[in-house]
Structure formats: structure tokens, C-alpha cells
Amino acid sequence: MTPTARAAVALAVRSWFGLRPAEARVLVSLFEAGDAHLACPALASKAEIGIGSIGWHVAQLRAAMETEAIDWERGVGYRLTEIGRAEIEEAIADMQAALAEVA
């Protein structure tokens, strides 16, 4: 994903879910990973957050999204489920529709 696309997706999920910037970066990092799990060190690096705050940010995301949106596997890491990916795609589509109305 290009930096511009990444920023656009981050803006869409911030608006849709009412997220803080760091939480949006975590969510976008998981979205970019596709079906792959991201281990905590990789997720922290991609989202530009401290490794010790991952659990807190994921808890905030789980509160904002469907409960089944984020999967965690011990020793493997976090990933978005199909439900989570669908929620993000809905947020992106909503942002696209809003921008189309302005243009």
C-alpha cells in the first residue's frame, strides 16, 4: 500500500470507528497484512507504537469493532478476521462515497 493510500485508509477507519491515531495505525497494519498474522514486534514496528502498548490498543479496537474482528494466536500474533476486513472495507467505501458527493 502506498503511503497516500495508507493515510487514506487510516483516516477512513479513524472516522468510522472513532479511533485515535495509534489505534488507526494498528488497524491499518493488520489490514495491510491480509490474512497473515503479525507478531507483536512486527505489529509495533509497523504501527509505530511501543510493544508494551499493543494489548491496550487491540483492546480499544475490539471495543470499537465487532468482537470477532481481530484474532490472536499465542506465539503467532494478531490478524484481522474476515469480519474485521469487511468492517474496514465498509469504512473505506463510506469514505469514497462521501468524497464522491463533494466532487
- pLDDT 10s digits, 19-70: 999 999 999 999 999 999 999 999 999 999 999 999 999 999 999 999 899 9
50, three cell numbers: 511501543
d(CA 101, CA 97): 6
Number of other CB atoms surrounding residue 10 within 10 Å? 19
The whole-number pLDDT of residue 62 equals 95
The whole-number pLDDT of residue 23 equals 97
How wide is the angle at C-alpha 89 spanned by C-alphas 49 and 26, nearest 5°?
A: 5
CATH architecture of 3-102: Orthogonal Bundle (1.10)
Domain residue ranges of the chain, discontinuous segments joined by +: 3-102
d(CA 53, CA 81): 21
From residue 70, how far is each of 7, 50, 98, 99 by CA, in Å? Answer: 21, 19, 27, 28
